[in-house]
Amino acid sequence: MADPSSYRPAAGEIPTDPGVYRFRDPHGRVIYVGKAKNLRARLANYFQPLASLHPRTQRMVTTASSVEWTVVGTEVE
């Protein structure tokens, strides 16, 4: 079980643009894909204290070992 703070991006590193994000497990497999109008605001939701997250989200963020994102031009793209 990974600690989400071990792979949390540095403050200001995540753009505020629309995009797609992927959580990956220690083997590099994608375990969750999401989209967001504002990547920074959306990803911040996953790095809250574990006790405040839904149990399903807790499992996902503790299984993951990295998060990556792709910025797009618009949320529709």
Torsion angles phi and psi, residue 24, rounded to 5: -120, 150
| pLDDT value at 1 more than 90 | no
Amino acid 77: pLDDT: 80
Q: Tell me the C-alpha distance between 5 and 2, whole Å.
A: 9
pLDDT, tens only, 12-51 = 999 999 999 999 999 999 999 999 999 999 999 999 999 9
Model-wide pTM > 0.75: yes
Q: What is the mean pLDDT of residues 51-65?
A: 96
| pLDDT value at 3 more than 90 | no
